[in-house]
């Protein structure tokens, strides 16, 4: 993603004016909390992990018949992040702004019944219930890196299949250029909707060729288990070469369109969050560098930083999607 600097002749507004004010203030409070209790703790512990000991794991995800596809580059050899960290240190603003809020609050999310409507520029629009989605294609575990714009990363074994399997069923028309994802926004289940930090429902978007890329995953689980509510149950998107906020959680609708869809964070802070949001270590955020990252669970705030890789390390697989583009202008 691109953040222009004063060297480009663009004068930044204050960070508090770019980021929605409640989020900015919450982050400042979080940093104060971290500074007060950082010694010997992990980031997840600072976020309140000790208060989440009673969180129940949702159970094993049933294996389905069929042969999983062999997607080149789908698995990293890096050690997966501990389940406790991946499930208790989350961004899911519908359940609160603090990293620990989703695990505390998402028990209110009801995932049965559930369906996804696939509509727009398709030959065969359809609504799929969760069981239909689960049976649509053989599922596989893919160990993907997840990179957050805030400078932290994880390695998570996701369970799902390529989104392309679903999109092919509805037969995109030749006029379709983009895919919009719409997520659940139910104030009865989601206390964070009262914050008004974003324009609800949360929406995201991909170019059609990005959505059809075999690495783009429709995920139903992680670590061989049912997807926890705080991680986007019952079905979410995972796009491993983009920043984590591109991966829409608790999806209820998918629309194919000929126009670039508006996305939640782009509407909230256009100068910070571009449509593409590819991991690019050479383009800084106004309040931090994107050139390095810390892996959650590896020593907390004082863990050794890792060098951030272009496209989050998936450049060999996806770089051709952006041939000829200026990635500092189309961020």
The 3-class SS string of the chain reads: CCCCCHHHCCCCCCHHHHCCHHHHHHHHHHHHHHHHHCCCCCHHHHCCHHHHCCCCCCCECCCCCCCCCCCCCCCCCCCCCCHHHHHHCCCCHHHCCCCCHHHHHHHHCCCCCCEEEEEECECCCEEEEHHHHHHCCCCEEEEEEEECCCCEEEEEEEEEEEHHHHHHHHCECCCCCEEEEEECCCCCCCHHHHHCCCCCCCEEEEEHHHHHCCCCEEEEEECCEECCHHHCCCCEEECCCEEHHHCCCCEEEEEEECCCCCCHHHHHCCCCCCCCCECCCCCCECCECCCEEEECCCCHHHCCCEECCHHHHCHHHHHHHHCCCCCCCCC
Query: Residue 302 pairs with which residues in a beta bridge?
Result: none
Closest C-alpha among 102, 234, 79 to residue 157: 79
pLDDT at residue number 33 = 37
Residue 79 in domain? yes
Digitized pLDDT (tens) for each residue of the chain, 331 residues in all: 433 333 333 233 333 333 444 454 444 443 343 333 333 333 444 444 444 444 578 888 877 655 666 788 889 999 999 999 999 999 999 999 999 999 999 999 999 999 999 999 999 999 999 999 999 998 999 999 999 988 999 999 999 999 999 999 999 999 999 999 999 999 999 999 999 899 999 999 999 999 999 999 999 999 999 999 999 999 999 999 999 999 999 999 999 999 999 999 999 998 899 999 999 999 888 778 889 999 998 876 677 899 999 999 999 999 999 999 999 888 8
Tell me, what's the pLDDT at 199? 96
What's the chain's Rg over C-alpha atoms?
Answer: 19
In a domain, 165, yes or no: yes
Q: Which two tokens stand for residue 285?
A: 């955020």
Residues paired with 153 in a beta bridge: 147, 295
Looking at residue 186, its pLDDT comes to: 98
Q: Is residue 1 part of a domain?
A: no
Paired with 152 in beta bridges are 294
Position 234 in a domain? yes
Residue 99 counted as domain residue? yes
| Cβ-contact 263, 276 below 8 angstroms | no
- Phi/psi for 8 (5° steps) reads -85, 5
Q: Name the domain count of the chain.
A: 1
- Within a domain: 327: no
Which domain, by its residues, includes 83? 6-322
Residue 226 placed within a domain: yes
* Inside any domain, residue 331: no
pLDDT of res. 200? 97
Q: Give residue 302's pLDDT.
A: 74
Residue 121: which CATH number? 3.90.420.10
Q: Report the pLDDT value the prediction gives residue 45, as an integer from 0 to 100.
A: 41
């Amino acid at each position: 993603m691109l953040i222009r600097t004063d060297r480009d002749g663009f004068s930044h507004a204050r960070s508090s004016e770019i980021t929605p004010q409640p989020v900015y203030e919450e982050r400042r409070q979080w940093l104060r909390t971290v500074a007060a209790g950082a010694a010997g703790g992990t980031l997840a512990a600072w976020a309140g992990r000790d208060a989440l000991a009673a969180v129940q794991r949702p159970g094993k995800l049933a294996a389905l018949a069929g042969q999983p596809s062999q997607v080149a580059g789908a698995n990293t050899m890096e050690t997966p992040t501990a389940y406790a960290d991946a499930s208790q240190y989350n961004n899911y603003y519908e359940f609160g702004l603090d990293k620990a809020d989703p695990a505390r609050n998402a028990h209110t999310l009801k995932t049965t019944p559930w369906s996804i409507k696939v509509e727009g520029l398709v030959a065969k629009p359809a609504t799929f219930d969760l069981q239909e989605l689960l049976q649509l294609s053989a599922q596989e575990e893919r160990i993907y890196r997840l990179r957050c714009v805030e400078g932290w990363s994880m390695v998570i074994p996701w369970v799902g299949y390529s989104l392309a399997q679903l999109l092919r069923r509805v037969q995109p028309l030749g006029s379709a250029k983009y895919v919009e994802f719409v997520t659940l926004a139910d104030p009865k289940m989601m206390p964070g909707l009262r914050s008004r930090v974003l324009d609800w429902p949360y929406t995201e978007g991909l170019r059609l060729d990005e959505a059809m890329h075999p690495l783009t995953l429709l995920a139903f689980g992680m670590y061989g288990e049912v997807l926890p509510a705080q991680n986007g149950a019952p079905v979410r998107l995972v796009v491993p070469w983009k920043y984590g906020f591109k991966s829409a959680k608790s999806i209820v609708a998918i629309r194919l369109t000929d126009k670039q869809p508006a996305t939640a964070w782009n509407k909230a802070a256009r100068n910070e969050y571009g449509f593409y949001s590819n991991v690019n270590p050479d383009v800084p955020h106004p309040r931090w560098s994107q050139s390095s990252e810390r892996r959650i669970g590896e020593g907390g705030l004082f863990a050794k930083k890792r060098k951030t890789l272009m496209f989050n390390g998936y450049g060999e697989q996806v770089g051709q999607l952006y041939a000829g583009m200026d990635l500092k202008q189309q961020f």
